[in-house]
Structure 1
Amino acid sequence: MADSNAKEPTLGIQSSIPPSGSSGNTASSVREEDSVPFTYDMGYENRGDFLIFVFKDFGGSEADRNGTEYEVQNLKSVAENWGFPTRSIKVHWDLSEETFKDELNIWAGGNHEKDDCVVIAILTHGLEDVLLTKETRFPIGEIWKCLKGCNSMEGKPKILLIQACRGEQLDEAGNESSTRRLIRSPDVIAGGTKKYVYEYIYPEEPDYIVMYATTLYFKAIRGWLCRYLLEATNVARDKGWDLMNQMTAVARKFSSECCSVKKYPWSHDRIKVTQSPEIFSSLRGKVFLHKGKGEN
């Protein structure tokens, strides 16, 4: 329950213009929150934590996510652009599923009343509705369950970056049609049918923004999300872009790129593919991240 004595604005969101100061609004008056743009309050003592979970080792040269060190390096630069001091950037390598959840629960159980926001980046393999560790696969919804109990982050932006495949499809570039052509239908597998039931692949609560490296059913090219996000945050420092503007710039950059990959792992044929990231948002206002919080 919200504290009735808490100072306004509540839930970590503030109006982009000062309130009128009048009290006792009439029934015909339009509520301020319905008529005024909002921005999240980024004036707390700390910027918050920037958590990076990296899964590189999958037990073999083909399966290992080689080169992910460059993704981490780019994410650290993104964190710096967004005003996170070095002490707030915490990188975890090749955790088990149990330890990964433990780390999220430990973080969620901490006191973050003085923090502006949190960023959680996950770099791994994935399928339609699961993420992979070396030994297991777990539903993406487990992430939201871990974060749901963090009362001190209520009303504050929770930013998630997920670099992982979300299926086996390849998005071919250079098709005559502007629509995607699936190599095989996700609804027909080995001559039979498979019904996909997805639960909790998006958070149900407000104040989340999630950027998936690719859309549902499709593979993700390693490195693109972190590299293009860094490019966008470099520009944002001078342009004054809010977070959604930056993520839109990332999506635009994806649309102009393609690369050559094997059509099937067992074949020698190569095709040009592109990729489209997906942005999910339940934010209730704009998020302005900038450099200058704390000491590096």
Structure 2
Amino acid sequence: MTDSNARETSVGMQSAIRPSERSGNTASSGREEESVPFTYDMGHENRGDFIIFVFRDFGDPKWNRDGTEGEVRNLREVAKNWGFPTHSIKEHWDVTEEKLQDELKQWAETNHEKDDCVVIAILTHGLEDVLLTKETRFPIGEIWKCLKGCDTMEGKPKIVLIQACRGGQLDEAENKSSSRRLISSPDVIDGREKKYVYEYIYPEEPDYIVMYPTAKYFPAFRGWLCHDLREVTSIARDKGWDLMNQMTAVTRKFGSKTGKHGIYPSYQEKIMITQTPEIFSSLRGKIFLH
């Protein structure tokens, strides 16, 4: 489960990320260091926390996220495959926006000096730049804002998985020509169109990797991301894959999938569409979670 290299003793960047191999002391060590591949230190005392925020109940059977229990089961397996013990998996179901922010802020105020990393997964409805609770919509940037200032996680990986739609534009799968239809529809949830555009849909700080199940402006099928992550992470150890290799493998699996989606406004007409995950990374090294 842990990196076999010796651990640095200092806190912060030096303890969390290091070269995978050393080239010795030379006069040009600064330039050489820049060219050496780095690997984050996964040899701390604890793997860290695996935090899951699940939103199932939206007050209307039409909008409830039925079947999300299967997503959570798959994420528990992902956590296991990534070396997180059961007690480190923390689930929060149908919390308010305020409660979500409080949980993240409380986590950020805790000492994580002995942790390797953190995983935060959010399963909900979404639009282009916002995520939804039952009562409210909140900018995705609120997640990064809540995590800021956690000094004991400086230089350590923050892994974020967001299972949510990001818009209503549809990419028709059955038409493979360059003129295939891109079918647009308003960003509508529970009969309300989106009225605000928020910034900071990606973190500005280093050491983040964020995976969305779909590209910006497009919908996401429920369950695909968590299911394929479970399958890929189950073989990652034998393959020797780092985290980016694993996420790339998930993207490749998506490439062979299509699903039916209704067309706005009635959603009665359905077409086959494709879906491609998006990966954002500000990592400064490789992550081996096995």
Q: Same fold (TM over 0.5)?
A: yes
1:237 is matched with 237
**C-alpha spacing 1:258/1:7, structure 2 compared with 1 (3 Å):** closer
**C-alpha spacing 1:63/1:48, structure 2 compared with 1 (3 Å):** same
Q: Which residue identity lines up with residue 116 of structure 2 in the other structure?
A: D
Cα shift readout 1:221-252 (whole Å, capped 9, x = no counterpart) = 00000001111101212101000000000000
Q: Which residue identity lines up with residue 121 of structure 1 in the other structure?
A: A
3-state SS in 1 of match to 2:183: coil
Q: Is the 8 A contact 1:128 1:166 kept in 2?
A: yes
2:4 is matched with none
1:13 matched to 2:4? The reply is no
Q: Is the 8 A contact 1:165 1:219 kept in 2?
A: yes
3-state SS in 2 of match to 1:18: coil
| Higher alpha-carbon deviation: 275-284 or 163-172 | 163-172
Q: Is the 8 A contact 1:127 1:165 kept in 2?
A: yes
Q: Which residue identity lines up with residue 166 of structure 2 in the other structure?
A: R
3-state SS in 2 of match to 1:10: helix
Structure 1 ranges of 4+ moved more than 6 A: none
Question: How far apart are 1:268 and its partner, in Å?
Answer: 2.1
Question: How far apart are 1:267 and its partner, in Å?
Answer: 3.9
Question: How far apart are 1:32 and its partner, in Å?
Answer: 3.9
Q: Quote the Cα distance in structure 2 between the aligned partners of 1:205 and 1:180.
A: 37
Give the TM-score normalised by the residue count of structure 1: 0.88
1:104 is matched with 104
2:177 is matched with 177
Question: How far apart are 1:260 and its partner, in Å?
Answer: 1.6
1:258 is matched with 258
**C-alpha spacing 1:185/1:222, structure 2 compared with 1 (3 Å):** closer
Question: How far apart are 1:56 and its partner, in Å?
Answer: 0.5
| Higher alpha-carbon deviation: 57-66 or 265-274 | 265-274
1:228 is matched with 228
The share of aligned pairs that are identical, in percent, is: 71
Q: Quote the Cα distance in structure 2 between the aligned partners of 1:136 and 1:248.
A: 33
2:33 is matched with 33
1:190 is matched with none
Q: Is the 8 A contact 1:11 1:154 kept in 2?
A: no
Give the TM-score normalised by the residue count of structure 2: 0.89
